[in-house]
A and B are shown apart, each in its own frame.
Chain A
Amino acid sequence: MGATIDEDIKERIWNGKINIKVSLAPIDHKVNASQISFYTRLPRNSFLPIYLPQMLDFFASSIKDPEWANQGNWWFSFQDVPIRWNLPIGVNFDIMTGLNPDEPTLEEWNIILNYSNYPNTIVPIFNSKKSNGANFHRHDDRIQFFHVYWLNQMKESCYCINGNCNSIMSLSKTDSNLFWGSLLSHARDTFMSINQKHVPLDPLNIRIIPIRIHISILNKVIQPNVTPTKDDQKDLTTLGDILQETIPELFPSSLMYTIAFPITHGIKLPINLSLIDLYSYFAFSDGFVHISVVFNQPKPLYII
């Protein structure tokens, strides 16, 4: 029974989606074309570059210069803040909106697709085909840079877990293609069957848990070097332990939340969750657990 509930939770997390309304930036819009928006519902545990080709197809006749559709360096923004394409969609939503999961969420996330003025605050994308003057003819070409990026993030998280990247380096060509393909098509069973090869059978043998804590208000990401158990090797390290250790100002206690609390996949996390469970339930498809720090809103003292 327990195993079934476990699987059910993991499947629900994998299938978590966000309603997104994408509009083309006015500056990149053909002057006389009518304004249209692209409505979609994208997995929290996926990445915007994967869906860029279908958005550009949709906007093809609205883009100011049709040639731009063949370029790679498009970018997204939310309320004028550039969106980090290299983070999972759900992580961007959580860190940019700062919404409390206990309160009503947005009906849709209004984001803008931009071409002009690529921002210098996010990782740049240089056209893969620039050197020989050719353009992107296939969607595969367009997101090739993302394949390389994603694979290196997987390798980094694998190094945290195992102290080497052997399980990724030694994947067969077939498995390697299936792994990337399952990310593109968001196919959980295939993805998980290959992903589990990078995690020791006994999770206590994990070297470092790959975790990134995003503190939007400080523009800061902390990747603490944390082990599954505490120094005495008996007690499991909990989420409360690492939050108190890394940001004691916001998490003065490891037993209860006071000023702020952590969310991931839009879910408020229990403070006594072990890091092993945190990783096994909530790791994203780039191999990392991403936690967003949200502030408790001060509640009015008297409500009549």
Chain B
Amino acid sequence: MSDDIKEASPPVNNPTLSESAVLDKVPKTSSLLDEIKERHAQEVCKISIRFIPIGSAPEITPKVFKISSSNNFGALLSFLDKRLGNNLIYKNQINHLTGGRIFGYLHNSFAPSPDENLDNLYKNFGINGELVVSYSDRVAFS
């Protein structure tokens, strides 16, 4: 039993790297970039995320969600913030890198950066077809 997490990406106002100074360094006639983009688009898939609460953090149901691998870790944290924000008992600590109140960890050891891509995290730290994310309402591992 799992649900889908649908995260609309926020509107982008600033130019990104691909629109920057590096642009004029790319061979003009190259269709290679389109080829890579196409391959990457085809490789986007749904990743299973299993959420596990730490300490006094509230449970979430269902425990397993599916989310597109093109999202980043910050999308998971803002999803948890929206779902659990009102049920948190411990409300004093904010996560300075999201502005939310949820802290997320992999392998009960480290907090990935909010801008880390889920595809990378899944490939490096996933187990048995799932990425296990433990979450807390305060700093749990420092």
Contacts and interface: CB of A to CB of B under 8 A. Distances in A.
Given A165-B110, A249-B39, A120 B14 contact: yes
Interface in B94-142: 94-99, 106-107, 109-117, 120, 123-125, 139, 141-142
A90 B100 CA distance: 30
A134 to B, nearest CB: 14
A104 interface: no
B86 interface: no
Interface string A136-156: 000000000100110111011
Interface string A227-267: 00000000000000000000101100000000100000000
Nearest to B14: A119
B17 A155 contact: no
A247 B36 contact: yes
A145 B103 CA distance: 13
A95 to B, nearest CB: 6
Interface in B33-86: 33, 35-37, 39-40, 74
Nearest to B123: A225
Interface string B6-50: 000011111111111111011100101101110110000000000
A208 B123 CA distance: 11
B123 A223 contact: yes
A225 B115 contact: no
Nearest to B110: A155
Interface residues of B, number: 51
A119 B36 CA distance: 27
A107 B20 CA distance: 19
Given A79-B20, A126-B96, A259-B32, A121 B14 contact: yes
A218 B37 contact: yes
Contacts of B125: 159
Contacts of A222: 120
Contacts of A128: 96
Given A123-B114, A216-B17, A98 B40 contact: no
Nearest to B93: A131
Interface string A202-225: 000000100000011111111111
B18 A145 contact: no
Interface string A157-183: 011100011000100000000000000
7 contacts: A117-B13, A123-B113, A124-B114, A145-B97, A159-B125, A217-B18, A297-B25
A31 interface: no
A165 B97 contact: no
A259 B120 contact: no
A132 to B, nearest CB: 9
- Among A149, A152, A165, A219, which residue has the most Cβ atoms of chain B within 10 A? A152
Nearest to A155: B110
Nearest to A84: B115
Nearest to A81: B20
Given A148-B142, A220-B40, A126 B27 contact: no
B115 A123 contact: yes
B98 A217 contact: no
A79 B124 CA distance: 34
B36 A80 contact: no
Given A98-B22, A120-B10, A216-B22, A295 B27 contact: yes
Give the 3 A-B CB pairs with smallest separation, nearest first: A98-B22, A155-B110, A223-B120
A88 interface: no
A227 B80 CA distance: 33
A84 B113 CA distance: 12
